[in-house]
Structure formats: C-alpha cells, structure tokens
Structure 1
Amino acid sequence: MNTQEPDREMNTESQVRNQLKKKLRNQRIRRVITWVVVIAILVGAFQSYSFYKTNGHLPWAKAKAPVTTVKESEAKVYESSFTNTIDLSGYVEPNDIQSVILRSTGTVTDVFVKEGDSVKKGDVLIAIDNTNQLYDVASIKADIEKAKLNGSERDLELLELKLKSATNKLDYTQAYANFDGVVASVKVSEGDYFEAGSSAMTIIDRSKLKATVEIDEIDMQHIKIGQKAELVFDSYTDGTLEGEVTYIPMIGKYTSQGIGVMEVEITIANPPASIAPGYTFEGTITSEGETVLTLLPQSALTVGRGGVTTVTKKLADGKTQTVIVTVKYLGEGISQLLTGDLKVGDTLIIRKTDTNASAFSAMSSGGRSPAGGIMRIE
C-alpha cells in the first residue's frame, strides 16, 4: 500500500486552510484601514467646519480683514403730549369688619340678631349666662354698704376696685356692635356652650367698599390722595362706578418679579346693593392734564466712556456737533430728553454699522462693491 498518497492529501488540505486564514486576515486589515480613513475624514471635516464657523475662513485659507460699512440717516427731535392712564384690577372688601368675640365662657342665653339684620353701634348682639357675675356684683355692693358704716377708708377703696373688676366681668358676658353695619354671619345659637375668645358672629360695614390695588413704582408719580378711579364690575351693568384714592402707604413692597409697588387703597362711597364684598373689578386711574415730552429715537444715542450719553446734531451749515444728553428710555425705541442742548425740530445723525452684510457683499463680489469700486473700510 502506498503511504505517500494520504500524506500528500493532508499537506494540500493544510495549505488550503492556511491560504483561507491569510485571506480572511487581509480582509479584516483592509476593513480596519477603511474605517480609520473614514473616521479621520469625518473628524477633519468637522474640525474644519468648526474652525470656519468661528473664524469665518477655512484653516488653509488666508483670513480676510472684516469689511464694514457705516450707514447714515437723519431723525428729528420731536414732542408728544399724552394723558397717563394706569390700569387697575382687584376685589372689594367691606369698609370695616368686626369679628364678634365674647370675653367670658358660659352657656349662650340670648342671640338678639340674625344674618342680614342691620345693627347700630352699641347694640347688644349676644349674651351668655351671667348668674355668677350678677351675684358677685351684688355681694360686693353689700360689702361696700357695710364698709361705709363700720370699715376703714382703705377697706372701702379695695371694695370699690373689686366692684369695678366684677362689673367688667359682668359686661364681658355680652357682645356689642362696634359700628353701624349688617350681620354677615352668625355662628352660635341659644343653648350653645361658648368658649371665651371664640368668634360668635361677623358684622360688616357696607356703607363703603374699599379695595387695595398694586401700582408700579413708575406710575406712583401720577397718584395722589383724592384722585378718581373708574371701576367696572361684571355684576354691575349700569356703567362704571367711581372710586377715590383714600390711602397711600409710606412703605412700598418688593414683588417676586423684582418690581417695586405701592398697595394703594381705593374707596367706593355708597356702592349699589348688587356689589358685594369679594366681587372683582377692572379699572383705570387717569392723571389730570396732559404731559408734554421731548422725544428722540434711541438709535441716535451713543454711550461713551464713563457712561456719558451723546447725540450728533446737524447744524444749519451742514456741519455736525456732539451734544451731551441725559435721557429716559420709554420703550419701543423711543427715549425722553431730560437734559441737553437740543430743541424740538433739531436734526440728529444716526450712524448704523453693518458689518455682516458688507462682508457678505465683499465675498460675493470679490472684494469690490456692487458698483465695481473698491469697498472702503471706515
């Protein structure tokens, strides 16, 4: 038997297997190299893009000097008159509120009013059992009579003080109305056991209604005592109601929005029955007379070193003059002139720098203006 034939077949199989492994290894190497190249290209592209966004040119390109144009326009100093109107909102409260409290503990014997009743100042509203208090007063009075006959002057003085204390305790068994008003609520009934210091009922004064409104510190310069307010209620369909500013506090309040406000009180005298405490309203306060302001565009102002604000005024001969001014910004691109050598009708020069548009124009026209001339850098 020939043994060389199997050996030859094994060598051939081994060679095929080695060639296959080598081929697979080469494929893996080529795949890794391909991915490395792709990632390097992506990283390079991203870095080039980031450099271009930051610097305005690619890393291998020469940086160009920024091209800037200055556009000039004119504006007039003018004046405007207006009536200052301040918006309001809030809800109304009674002119006065009394939480009726008894200063004695005991069983309620009488409730003299019910919800909705009108009361006068000094009316008795509620009473509790006063048997013990009546006894104490009568007993002390008897002791005083005896002291007048047999006691000393000092004993008499002490008894008089004791009588005053007992009389006060007797008075504490009743509650009285502190003002003319209406019973808004009753929380006790006859036979209830009442703890001293608890609220038994509520009395309100509806002869006037008042509201506390927040007014911005900027608008407070236009508010004064006695000023009228026009108020609109959803529950009142006959027009507006007139209110009056009756109280301005001495101390303002700082809100969570970082604004200083004053809590101003407005009073409505003789309100209609359809307006109840707790009802909401919208309204306005209008300042008396008109305010005339000298105005100029905010874009005409230049703030220099040290915060000095200036404008460029055009003179009659065409020359310009720099004028120092102080202003107050009013919003919407308008400022009020406070001080400065300006008058209504003066012409102001407004200079506006436009770098981006000019740079784009320069790039798109090869560094020349659209008219073909060289663009100058001001």
Structure 2
Amino acid sequence: MKSNIYFRLFFVAIIAGLLAACSAASPEDDKQARLEKLKKDQVALTKEIQKLEAEIAAANPDAATSVRAKEVSITALAPRSFDHFVQTQGLIESDNNVLVSAKTMGVVTQVYVTEGQSVSKGQVLAQIDNSVIVTNIQSMEAQLELAKSVYERQKNLWDQKIGTEVQFLQAKTNKESLEKQLASLREQNEMAKIKAPISGTVDEVVVKVGENISPGMPAARVVNASDLKLAAKVSEAFVTTIKKGNKVIVSIPELKKDIEAKVTFVGKNIDPLSRTFNVEINLPNHPDLRPNMTGTIKVVFNTEPSAIVVPVNVIQTVNNEKIVYVAENNGKQTVARKKIITVDGVFNNLAQVQGLKAGDKIVTFGYQGLSDGEVIKI
C-alpha cells in the first residue's frame, strides 16, 4: 500500500516538473525556434528538389518537360563602347555680361535704348546733363582760335627775325595750353555719355530720365550670349583624371537635349571647404542659352572601345563575391549557370565587368532566387 502511495507521489512530482519546464519557455521563443527550423527545412527541400530534377533530366531527357522551369528573360552580351565619367552640376556664365555704370555725376537727360534692343560697342545708352561742359567747350574753342591766330602771326614775325623769341614762345605756349584744356573738356563731355562697353543686347535699363546719377551707379546691363561657358566644381578625387580637352556631355533641362563640348579650363586650386576644384566648358552658340541657367555635365575621363557591360541591378553579392547568372543549354533543357565577375566601374546604371564574354546570355529578369544549374524557361 505504501509503495503505491510513493509511486503516485513520484509520478505527480514528475508531471509537475514537466509542467514547470514547459512553462519556463516563453511562447515567443517556441515560435521563433519553429520558424528557424522550418526555414532550414525549406532550404534543404529546395536543394533536394533541384538536385532530383537535374538528375531526372540527365537520366531521362524526354522527361524534361515534366521538370518545372522558372521563367526568365535574357540578353546576349556584345562588346560596346563604354564611357567612364564624373557627373556634377554647373552654372552657365558669360564674360560678356556687363552692368554699365556712369563715369561722372549729374542728372540724366536722355535714355536712348530699351530692354531687348541690340547695341554695338561704343553706342550711347544714356546722356548725363553736359550743358555747362558744352558752354565751356564753345568758349575754349573761341579762345583757341584767337591763340592760334596770334601764334601764327608771331611765328611769321620770328621767321623774319622780327620781334623777340619770348613773344613767340609765349604765343606758342598759350596755344598749346588752350588745346590741352579743350581736349580735357571734350573728354569730360564724352564721360557724360553712358556707352555700351560691348556689343550685345540690352537686358536691363536701370536709369531713368531726371535721376541724379554718380560714378559707379548702375545704368544698364548689356549681355552678349554668343560667348557662354559652363562653370562647375568637381571632387578632388578626380583631380588626376580630369584634363583639359576631355569630352563633356552637357544636359540643359530647358533645352531637352544634350550638348557635346570639351573641358577648356581645369583649376589648380582645391577649395579647402568643399574639397573641389573648378572646371569650365565653353558652350557653342545657341539662341536659347542664357547666363545663370543650370545644367548637368558628364566629364568623360576614359572611354573603353570594347567593353562587356551589364545592367548593375543584375549583379548579386553572395559570400562576398559578385555573381550573375547566364543561360546555357544542357541537352534539351536550358539551365542557369552562376558566373563570378569583377566590376571595373559603374556609370549610368551600367557596370563594366570582367568574367563574361561576348555572346553570353545573361539573365536580366527572374534572376532573384536562382540557383546554379536550375532549369529555366526563356
């Protein structure tokens, strides 16, 4: 009787221990463990299925149609020209974009141009009041005429040895002095005319009739858009690769087309803050180009004439190796083969690679989840 009681107590203790052990593990841990086990089982099953499918296909080619194939798209590789470039933003500038200012002070009496008008170099854009100067010029011209007449008379007398040398020299000095004063007045009169320093188009007229203007104050802006350049900054990482004469593809959004040009200037100084250097590209004449427009430039520093290029998105990284899949024939089947590659450069979503050859049929769609030797359908 006692033995039965002891047995029952022992059995109850075991059951309690088991219940305690089961309660010790949380439901979340149990689910996580089950999930990890199922994932491992799935990988093992997938590999086993692929292995059996390949063995069946090899042993019985006629049964190939019974093996499920993954649908993919392929592209046959061919050598092509491939540009290595650096891309950056730039701003269109013009050396012939001039804000014209006055050289003397006074009241503006005339404005001869309007915005959008074409002007030539030296053309008068506006006139500053010069009435006092004109009066002085007229007075000086009259004095000079008299001085010239006196000088001619004294010269004739001196040539005949009549009179004194002092009288002749005084007449000569007086004439020359008046000539210099008159030249100075005429120069002041020219300074009262605001002239175009370059040929081009009047982009802005600032000054108005009746305004008082002084030296340095802007009067008008003249722009010549026939000589434009694009200035940009490039990272110092390319300081040894960007050279004068490199081909450049300029993309201006407003023009909706690309312009081909060349690098015309490469700066020698590295900006200590941005760690960049300046480059400039002379632009061809185009009626729609304007100063201060922005554009994207691609400076081509290397061109491979015969490169193997693939879309960058088809390259996968597995175990620290770059791989792609190519389609190969295996009897009556087409299978995916893993190819290990090296990437020489990525530009414009394309990658130049080593490890592939012309004619390889690279998988460009459906490559995710492929395995080496897996049967595919094109």
TM-score by length of structure 1 reads 0.51
**Conserved? CA contact 1:92–1:278, under 8 Å:** yes
- Counterparts of 1:302-341 in structure 2 under 5 Å? none
1:17 corresponds in structure 2 to none
Q: Which runs of 5+ in 2 are unaligned?
A: 1-80, 151-169, 307-343, 347-378
1:127 CA drift (Å): 0.8
Q: Which residue of 2 aligns with 1:106?
A: 106
CA-CA distance at 1:83 after TM superposition: 4.3
- Aligned equivalent of 1:13: none
Q: Which amino acid aligns with 1:129?
A: D
DSSP-derived class of the 1:191 partner: coil
Query: Could you list the per-position Cα deviations for residues 330-358 of structure 1 after superposition, in whole angstroms to 9, with x for gaps in the alignment?
Result: 999xxxxxxxxxxxxxxxxxxxxxxxxxx
Query: Using the alignment, how far apart are the partners of 1:291 and 1:284 within structure 2?
Result: 18
Q: Which residue in 2 is equivalent to 1:195?
A: 214
Partner of 2:4: none
The answer as to whether partners of 2:100 and 2:197 remain within 8 angstroms in 1 is no
Task: Give the match for residue 204 of structure 2.
Answer: 185
1:254 to 250, 256, 271: 271
- Choose the corresponding residue for 1:269, options 276, 284, 307: 284
Residue 241 of structure 1 pairs with residue 259 of structure 2: yes
1:197 partner SS: coil
* SS of structure 2 residue aligned to 1:278: coil
The residue correspondences of 1:1-378 to structure 2 (distance < 5 A) are 83-150=83-150, 151-237=170-256, 239-249=257-267, 251-257=268-274, 259=275, 261-273=276-288, 275-290=289-304
Please state whether the residue corresponding to 2:125 is helix, strand or coil.
strand
Deviation at 1:117, TM superposition (A): 1.2
Q: Is the 8 A contact 2:89 2:297 kept in 1?
A: yes
Q: Residues of 2 paired with 1:253 and 1:143: CA distance?
A: 63
Q: Is the 2:266–2:278 contact (alpha carbons within 8 Å) kept by the matching residues of 1?
A: yes
Kindly report structure 1 stretches of 4+ aligned residues shifted beyond 4 Å: none
Q: Secondary structure at the match of 1:165?
A: helix
Distance 1:288 1:144, change over 3 A: farther
State the match for 1:321 in structure 2.
none
- The percentage of counterpart residues that share the same residue type is 28
Once the 2 structures are TM-superposed, how far is the Cα of residue 155 of structure 1 from its aligned partner? 2.0
Question: CA 1:288–1:158 in 2, change beyond 3 Å: closer, same or farther?
Answer: farther
Q: Letter of the 2:292 partner, please give it.
A: G
When residues 164 and 288 of structure 1 are mapped into structure 2, their CA distance, relative to the original with a 3 A threshold, is farther
Equivalent position amino acid for 2:185 in 1: A
Deviation of 1:244 after TM superposition, in Å, equals 3.0
State the alpha-carbon separation in 2 of the partners of residues 148 and 291 from structure 1: 80
Query: Is contact 1:95–1:207 with CA below 8 Å preserved after alignment?
Result: no
Deviations 1:223-282 (A, max 9, x none): 333433111122122x21233322234x4132315x2x3212112111242x33222111
Aligned-partner SS, 2:239: helix
AA paired with 1:279? M
For residues 192 and 288 of structure 1, what CA distance do their matches in structure 2 show? 58
Aligned mates of 2:272, 2:196 — CA distance in 1: 38
How far apart are the structure 2 equivalents of 1:136 and 1:228? 61
Residue aligned with 2:107, SS: strand
TM-score, normalised relative to structure 2:
0.51
Q: CA deviation at 1:144?
A: 1.7
Give, in whole Å, the separation in 2 of the partners of 1:217 and 1:156: 66
**What is the alpha-carbon root mean square deviation over aligned residues?**
2.9
1:226–1:272 Cα change, 3 Å: farther
Distance in 1 (alpha carbons) for counterparts of 2:125 and 2:99: 12
Q: Distance in 2 between matches of 1:195 and 1:123?
A: 20
Conservation of the 8 A alpha-carbon contact between 2:111 and 2:125? yes
Contact 1:208 1:271 in 2 (8 A): no
- Distance (whole Å) between structure 2 residues aligned to residue 227 and residue 144 of structure 1: 63
Is the 8 Å Cα contact of residues 244 and 267 (structure 1) preserved in structure 2?
yes
Cα separation, 2, equivalents of 1:226 and 1:110: 48
Give 5+ residue unaligned stretches, structure 1.
1-80, 293-329, 333-378
Q: How many residues align?
A: 212
> How many Å separate the matches in 2 of 1:152 and 1:124?
38
Q: For residue 226 of structure 2, give the secondary structure of its aligned residue in structure 1.
A: strand
Q: What SS is found at the alignment partner of 1:269?
A: coil
Q: CA deviation at 1:291?
A: 10
Label 1:248 to 1:167 Cα distance change in 2 as closer, same or farther (>3 A): farther
1:198–1:82 CA distance, 2 compared to 1 (3 A) = same
